[in-house]
Amino acid sequence: MHSADVYLEEPEKCTSLKALIIDDQRTMRRIVRSLLKQIGISSFIEAGDGAAALKMIETLEPDARPDFVICDLHMDGMDGLEFCNKVRLNRIEALRDIPIIVLTGDSDSLIRSVTEQIGIGTILSKPVSAPEQQQAVAGAVGFSLQ
């Protein structure tokens, strides 16, 4: 599928979305931002690891929280699995249901199984393309693709 073949049925809703991008590599965060901008998302917050991201979303006012998260799996400090688990079990109930899309260069089926067990339904393999990311975001936030 090429990026020209995929579009959001309701692109105006996409522009109001806020994304949290978690990756320990600044270059990868820039790539993810660029791919999100291609589908009209321009509101981002970023963190270099899971601990910083968790602290950030727990202290944000409810209307400033992200609509979805794109999280690297392997990071120093708190990795993506631990971050996802802490979000899913968070004391702040509203955080537990934030859609999380995991990015990984890992093809290990055990890791993929564990991410699914802790409530992560979308796993993207690096390098990710704009159409793949667009489909993942649309699925995570409940938009229709045509």
Question: Regarding the domain with residue range 3-141, which homologous superfamily does it belong to in the CATH classification?
Answer: Response regulator (3.40.50.2300)
* Domain range annotation of the chain: 3-141
Cα separation, 74 vs 96, whole angstroms: 21
The predicted-structure confidence for 30-70, as pLDDT tens digits, reads as follows 999 998 888 888 899 999 999 999 999 999 999 999 999 99
User: What is the model's pLDDT at position 65?
Assistant: 94
pLDDT of amino acid 14: 63
pTM across the whole model? 0.84
Nearest by Cα to 16 from 68, 59, 58: 68
Q: Is the pLDDT of residue 124 over 70?
A: yes
Instruction: List the one residue out of 84, 63, 64 whose CA is nearest residue 73.
Output: 84
Bridge partners for 44 per DSSP? 19
| DSSP per-residue string spanning 40-64 | T--EEEEESSHHHHHHHHHHS-GGG
What is the arithmetic mean of pLDDT over 2-14? 45
Average pLDDT on 129-141 reads 83
Residues contacting 79, CB < 8 A, separation 6+: 49, 50, 73
Q: What is the pLDDT of residue 55?
A: 96
Please give the radius of gyration of the chain, using alpha carbons only, rounded to the nearest integer: 14
pLDDT digits (tens, 9 = 90+) for 58-116: 999 999 999 999 999 889 889 888 999 999 999 999 999 999 999 887 777 777 777 77
